[in-house]
Amino acid sequence: MAKRETSSASSFSARRLLGQIHLWSGLILCLPLVLIGLTGSILVFQEEIDALTNPIPHAATGGEMQPIGTMIAVAEKALANSAMEGRKVVAITLPQELGEPAIIRMSAPRAGGGPGSGGQILLDPITLGVLDIRQSGDGIMQIVHRLHANLLIAGRDGRTIVGWLGVVMLVLGASGTVIWWPRNGRWRQAFMVKWGTRPLRFNRDLHGAIGIWGLAVFMVVSFSGVYLAFPQAITAGIGSIFPARDLRSQDMQLKASPIAGEVPLDIDQVIDLARQNAPSAVLRNIALPQRKDQPYRLMLAQPDQVDGTPLATLYIDPWSQKIFVNRSPADYSLGESILAWQRPLHESAGLGWIWRILVFFSGLLPLLFSVTGITMWLLKRRNRKKAENQQNKAAVAIMD
């Protein structure tokens, strides 16, 4: 009996400590956590909001698409006559449907510019007309994106802070589950909110119910956000459980081999080589080499592939005129597939409208947790002070 009482007391003490960690972490960090959550919910509908606030102009719907090299030459000429003079073309995203422009992305104006800092040129792929030139930060959604990604803090520091806030969300989710865990098998009540109860009980029930119903999506989205902030650390952790190559590190180490006196393939010849290797694939994106020893990186999808799902990647050395890496998601190990899906999961891509709605609501959870959590804390403080005042009055009455 004594051992059981000691174990029960120890369990209660650990639960109480966990409750304090949960409480004060939530109270102290509620504002940045709410900001990250709300901006994440907004970004779920980024395309729809952009279409209203900063619409993409339509391109021609008839005719043949011009060679990629010609598009880049037109974009470079437009750059030379714009406020973005001196920047380089770093990548091009090809249209997926008729009437969509090609998006030619520029280098950032300085090192550490942050997400979306390079600007872009929207080009009609058929007529070669420049439809729009967008500076970094153009549009309200770019600001929302930078708030979500790095809290408007330039360089790596902002992304690191957001990553650690993601870790806090995981800790809050895990500790909240332990605190919520129903005692004496009262499972049904733990998933429900009883209306008409006192404010403290109502907020406690609401806090626990919305937490447990949204827990799975909240934890998945939080974990994927931590991965995007700390990819190497998460890759090492996943790789320790499921075999997985560190594809990001391998990509950074890939080098082309410049050959003295030789002329490298131009971008259109590189694309021809890629299409010979994968004739049925659809070219989505091309990253251009910025140094002589960098390869071209081409992203390809299968004709029936859903938007947002992991793409195949080809790395082509323009000097040796060879594909020296052909990476397909179909060949990934379990660990590599888990890692490849982190960005689509976080960005609510590739899994349909149901997942988009769930991710949207998961971004609202920090706000709901903050409101109910702070309300409980204030109510408990009020009740505690009220009880202390009653005790003091009783003590004074006894002394009199």
- 256: buried, middle or exposed (CB in 10 Å: 19+, 13-18, 0-12)? buried
The verdict on residue 398 lying in a domain is no
The verdict on residue 257 lying in a domain is yes
The verdict on residue 289 lying in a domain is yes
Cα–Cα distance measured from residue 8 to residue 157, given in angstroms and rounded to the nearest whole number:
44
151 and 121 within one domain: no
Q: How many CB atoms lie within 10 A of CB 166?
A: 23
Confidence grade of residue 149 (pLDDT, cut at 50, 70, 90):
very high
310 and 274 within one domain: yes
Q: Tell whether the model's pLDDT for residue 367 goes beyond 60.
A: yes
The token pair that represents 197 in the structure block: 């109860």
Which residues have a Cβ under 8 Å from the Cβ of 4 and sit 6 or more positions away? none
Q: Tell whether the model's pLDDT for residue 39 goes beyond 70.
A: yes
- What is the mean pLDDT of the segment spanning 1-26? 72
Query: pLDDT per residue over 61-99, tens digit each?
Result: 888 999 999 999 999 888 887 766 677 899 999 998 889
- What is the mean pLDDT of the segment spanning 121-125? 94
Whether 123 contacts 130, CB under 8 Å = yes
152 and 83 within one domain: no
Average pLDDT, whole number, for the chain? 88
Domain boundary (138, 173, 205) is at 138
Partners of 315 in the β-ladder? 297, 325
Query: pLDDT per residue over 288-307, tens digit each?
Result: 998 899 999 999 998 888 87
Roughly what angle, to the nearest 10 degrees, separates helices 156-180 and 140-150?
Answer: 70
218 and 167 within one domain: yes
151 and 133 within one domain: no
276 and 130 within one domain: no
Least confident of 238-242, 329-333, 340-344, 396-400: 396-400
133 and 166 within one domain: no
Buried (b) or exposed (e) across 364-379, using 16+ Cβ within 10 A?
A: bbbbbbbebbebbeeb
174 and 97 within one domain: no
310 and 161 within one domain: no
The proportion of the chain whose per-residue pLDDT surpasses 70, expressed as a percent, equals: 93
Least confident of 8-22, 38-52, 179-193, 336-350: 8-22
Please identify which residue in the block is written with the tokens 């299968």.
302
CATH number reported for the structural domain that contains residue 264 in this entry = 3.10.450
Whose CA is closest to 256, among 247, 265, 248? 265
232 and 166 within one domain: yes
283 and 226 within one domain: no
Q: What pLDDT score was predicted for residue 166?
A: 96
Whether 51 contacts 116, CB under 8 Å = no
DSSP 233-268: HHHHHHHHHS----HHHHHHH------TTPPPP-HH
Can you give the residue range of the structural domain that contains 272? Answer: 246-332
The verdict on residue 337 lying in a domain is no
132 and 99 within one domain: yes
The verdict on residue 349 lying in a domain is no
Give me the number of domains the chain comprises.
Answer: 3
Domain boundary (95, 118, 138) is at 138
Q: What pLDDT score was predicted for residue 41?
A: 97
Domain boundary (138, 161, 192) is at 138
The verdict on residue 400 lying in a domain is no
Q: Report DSSP state, residue 125.
A: T
The verdict on residue 19 lying in a domain is yes
Q: What share of the chain is helix, strand, coil (3-state, %, to 5)?
A: 55, 10, 30
The verdict on residue 209 lying in a domain is yes
Whether 39 contacts 150, CB under 8 Å = no
